[in-house]
Homo-oligomer: A and B are copies of this chain.
């Protein structure tokens, strides 16, 4: 449909079809192609909780997430680097994206201090003092070695006022400039083994490093050289990475538009993150923010709605042009005994399922539904058996993955508007029935 955006670095995005604002695309990365729209399962600590890579392949998962904050604290991004990078570490040969840790650091509330330079915080594990700057986060994400790395951004609560939202959004833009500069510097400086930020150095000083000279304001110089990495390193532990900016702005459409324009003017980014949503705001506000940035973002780049979400959020996002999603909900809810099904959510622990021979969802083709009854799954939960956690996590990740596959097929054959309206109508009728 559109010309592929060939970057020469192993990254490219090509739109295959569009129906209304919904898009079906191909996002090529050094570790394989992602057919969009797609849901990315979250492997915070280098494992999608309770699942292994074979489970993910069987589900049809394409790209997965890991988290820089968590992996920096445990086992240490230097350890991951020394063990060959995230792909080898976790045995996943497909594309990986790392979140920068912005969300985690700002969630620490009482444990952190924000300055223009960065964020000082205490580890949630051992209380040790740590310091994140845009530069150090780039170094951490370089050590981890994911295909796509997110900028370090300033995340605020979902209902923040315009002043706080503008402050965080503008800081995120200034930090993006610094992230990009560090990203470039690491590349120029040869990317030799051990060239990254040393964990020992970081931990030894225990406090803020000397403040660097910040760019006076954004937008900074536009560069495209960030795409120039030799193709032959595509599958090594230091294969090319793409830095995605994150668009902030709270629930204020003007701030969102302004941030999107500034980010776009700054660089020809390989993809764009839309952050700071699904953090407490009302759903209509979230949808409005996606609409606000739509016209400001280039058509031929993937759009990633961070931390979203539930099945209905994915459908609403796709209707508004989003290509990539991630959320811990399917695995977290799975461990809690709750399954997504085509008939709504199901709590497998309920007594009514004691002798129920049916699968969780008769319409589902996942390895859990093909093999096990609700009665058996209930038994596993009641008996605290580990297998139950895996089987429901597997089902839930499959549910969202398959939902996006179905949406993509509907975009490709132009049935998406009718299909998605029908899907949402059924969803809302079920929700209305549930007191």
A contact residues vs B (CB 8 Å cutoff): 45-47, 49-54, 74-75, 79, 82-84, 89-91, 354-355, 357, 367, 371-373, 375-376, 378-380, 382-383, 385-387, 389-391
Contacts and interface: CB of A to CB of B under 8 A. Distances in A.
Contact of A46 (B83, B376, B389): B376
Contact of A376 (B54, B89, B380): B89
A386 B49 contact: yes
8 contacts: A47-B380, A47-B387, A50-B387, A52-B387, A75-B383, A83-B355, A386-B386, A386-B390
Most chain-B CB neighbours within 10 Å: which of A74, A379, A389? A379
A96 B89 CA distance: 36
Contacts of A367: 54
Contacts of A47: 380, 385, 387
A18 B121 CA distance: 67
B379 A45 contact: yes
A75 B379 contact: yes
Most chain-B CB neighbours within 10 Å: which of A46, A54, A386? A386
A49 B375 contact: no
A47 to B, nearest CB: 5
A388 to B, nearest CB: 8
| Copies of this chain | 2
A373 B80 CA distance: 11
A383 B45 contact: yes
Given A45-B383, A82-B355, A382-B74, A52 B390 contact: yes
A132 to B, nearest CB: 20
Contacts of A382: 74-75
A93 B50 CA distance: 24
Contacts of A90: 376
Nearest to A92: B371
10 smallest A-B Cβ distances: which pairs? A75-B379, A50-B386, A91-B371, A82-B355, A47-B387, A83-B375, A45-B383, A47-B385, A89-B376, A74-B383
